[in-house]
Structure 1
Amino acid sequence: MIARRSPRMKWIALMAAPALLLVGCAGDSGGEGGAEGGTMELTLAHSYNPDQPQDRCGAAVIKEEVEKADVGLTIELFGSSQLGGDADRIASVASGDIDIDIQGASALGAVYEPISVLDAAYAFDDAAHLAEFMDSDASDKVIEGFADAAGVYTLGAWSAGARHFTANSPIRTPEDLEGMRIRFPGSPQFLMNAKALGATATEVAYEELYLALQQGTVEGQENPITNIKSQNLAEVQDYLSLSAHQLNTNLVIMSQKWNDLSEEQQEALTDAVEVAVDEVTACVAEDEEATIEEWRTGGDWEVIDDVDVDAFQTKAVAYLEETLEGESLEVFEAIRSTSSK
């Protein structure tokens, strides 16, 4: 493997050895994926819609940058879960039926549990902290562990925005959550986050969230701004509380097709992902700022800015340090060790 120009891309070299053990001699860069072998088309799948940053600023940018590099690579995009749900696509990447996929950390936890800790409540202070962790040696163990368990490469990671609470009463402190039924996704890490924050979790499918809030099945929920907007939750909730209690962490993963690429193609692809990481981060920040300002002035609901984030974070971190075990605890401690707070 060639050296990468960004620390973020060091994962490729770190994971080369375990992946090559699985594929034998497939890593010979002089194979059919080399420049002399003609154009190779890669499939890139994800579950996001065209209006979401992961698609328009992530997947679309990766395709554009790779094809602009003119190294004999093209990318065909399959968004909106066209190639299956998260679990199906993870299996397809591992088997080589899908070349590249964009997945949430919690979904990848089904393959390698410690990686789901990237979605732990208040693990990261903000998107800059996530980037710092991923660029540091502290991330090596979890990325290598995931490669060993899943047999796939990690090309990059970004935050798709922080998650916040909505409800029919303000949520400023952990005490405000007491006795309130809050919808959380059903993955183990999300349900652990609920306990860490002091919430009573109720599992409701994302597609049924609006109706559940409208009918009072749940009293509140938590999601990133882009999801809250797309679901029109201001129609059925009175308050948005800016708790920023969890980053939505996405990883760009690739099958062992990586080993069929020439070094020039590998570099073009990793460079493209690096551009996309920066683009998604910027797009998320711009979208969130515009949406929140629109809500503040529109009067659809009240935006609560004075959430006691320190109280929530102190409570959550203490719970997670006490509850997580083994490699998962090591990952959490590694993340917190890179915090500036």
Structure 2
Amino acid sequence: MALPDTSRRSRRRATLAAAAVAPLVLLAACGDDDDGGGGGAVELTLAHSYTETQPQHRCGAQIIADEVAAADADMTVEIFPASQLGADADRIASVVSGDVDIDIQGASALGAVYEPVAVVDAAYAFDDGEHLARFFDSEASDELVQSFADEAGVTTLGAWSAGARHFTANEPIRSPEDLDGLRMRFPNSPQFLMNAEALGADATEVAYEELFLALQQGTVDGQENPITNIDSSSLQEVQDYVSLSGHQANSNLVIIGGVWDEMTSAQQDVLQSAVDKAVEEVPGCVAEDEEKTLAEWEETGDMEIVDDVDVEAFRTQADTYLRENFNEEQLAVYEAIRGVAE
């Protein structure tokens, strides 16, 4: 996969970040500092919901912390993985309030504070992870990123795809018709529930932490997640088939709250560079983990891999539904995303 032009991304996002306003945060030491902030040591908290073995932590959060430490910029990043600082919906509120500095978060959860950003997680909005990277590395994303900053008072430092989401169940799912009669678990967010409708699924809301038990007890028949999440939750123990629908380029946005405006421009540059490094690394780590996991499932037979899914049927159905049901702002984001498809 071709790596994005990180120097261009740094310049473009630094410009956006400098223009962003964080109205919910009172700066304690803005003074007349010409260097972009109040200066002094900065201790940042970084939160996410992933385990320490998942690529979002190993190649994302940890690289950010390590790169910041190596830069010796009087700044540190302390990581709190596995939802230690709250579930997704709680953490975005904590970033807005300033209780958490940096969060690695899916776009659908961020829709709680700015609805249009959730469209990034719309079914088949992106053709693949490279398409997502291209969108966020282009001017096509500028309006979304700036509007998100203006509305919520948070700055987007980077974005990556943490792998495509696929269906699992105890029977193959090759077409939208195969979802008939199946109770499929989807996350409880408006965009995910809209995705379920768009794909033809009967959505059942179950907390991620309760998903294994729900599948084991038959409360739900199937679910959808990236390969790395399926493996980390050991869902292959309670599901027979993984159907490679690739219906969503599972997103992670790296966002920071009002502390950004308290940092010097040098510290901002260091943090932005660290995030850019993580944006480069995560997709490759995800791909390696997925390849290893699929090979293990194929060898052990723990999960039968269905690779002849009629993706075009799902894609066409989803596109029609979304265009008919998005509001004007959501549709504008969707069109911007599709506009940079190859």
- TM-score, normalising length from structure 1? 0.93
Q: Name which of 48, 53, 58 aligns with 2:60.
A: 58
Does residue 185 in structure 1 map to residue 182 in structure 2? no
Structure 1 residues 24 and 91, CA gap change in structure 2 (3 angstroms): closer
Question: What SS does the aligned partner of 1:242 have?
Answer: strand
Q: Which runs of 4+ in 1 moved over 4 A?
A: 20-25
- TM-fit CA distance, 1:325: 0.9
* Residue 81 of structure 1: aligned partner: 83
Q: What stretches of structure 2 of length at least 5 have no aligned partner?
A: 1-5
Identity of aligned residues (%): 64
2: CA distance between counterparts of 1:24 and 1:264?
21
1:201 maps to 2:192: no
Unaligned runs of 5+ in 1: none
Whole-angstrom distance in 2 between the partners of 1:29 and 1:5: 24
1:329 corresponds, among 325, 328, 331, to 331
**Structure 2: how far apart are the matches of 1:214 and 1:47?**
23
Matched positions, count: 334
Corresponding residue for residue 140 of structure 1: 142
- Give the counterpart letter for 1:331 in structure 2: V
Residue 220 of structure 1, CA deviation:
1.2
The amino acid across from 2:137 in the alignment is D
Structure 1 residues 20 and 304: alpha-carbon distance in aligned structure 2, compared to 1, 3 A threshold: closer
Residue 48 of structure 1, CA deviation: 1.6
How far apart are 1:268 and its partner, in Å?
A: 1.0
Separation of aligned partners in 1, 2:7 and 2:306: 42
**Retained in 2: the 8 A contact 1:8–1:156?**
no
- Equivalent in the alignment of 1:273: 275
Greater mean deviation of Cα atoms: 301-310 or 16-25: 16-25
User: Secondary structure of the residue that 2:7 maps to in structure 1?
Assistant: coil
User: In structure 2, what is the Cα distance between the partners aligned to 1:71 and 1:208?
Assistant: 41
Q: 1:170 aligns with which of 169, 172, 178?
A: 172
Give the counterpart of 2:308 among 306, 309, 312. Answer: 306
Give the drift of 1:331: 0.4
Shift of 1:258: 1.3
SS at match of 2:51: coil
Counterpart CA distance in 1 for 2:240 and 2:93 is 40
What is the Cα-based RMSD across aligned positions, in Å?
A: 1.9
- Any residues of structure 2 matched to 1:1-341 within 5 Å, and which? 5-7=7-9, 10-19=12-21, 26=30, 28-30=33-35, 33-34=38-39, 37=40, 39-340=41-342
Distance across 2 between alignment mates of 1:248 and 1:237: 21
Cα pair 2:20 2:155 within 8 Å, conserved? no
* Superposed displacement of residue 14, structure 1: 2.0
Q: Measure the CA separation in 2 of the matches of 1:78 and 1:29.
A: 32
- 8 Å CA contact retained: 1:9, 1:270: no
C-alpha distance 254-293 of structure 1, shift in aligned 2 (>3 A): same
| Aligned partners of 1:11 and 1:144 also within 8 Å | no
- SS of 1:306's partner is coil
Provide the rounded CA distance (Å) in 1 between the counterparts of 2:36 and 2:163.
Answer: 39
Distance 2:16 2:49 in 1: 28
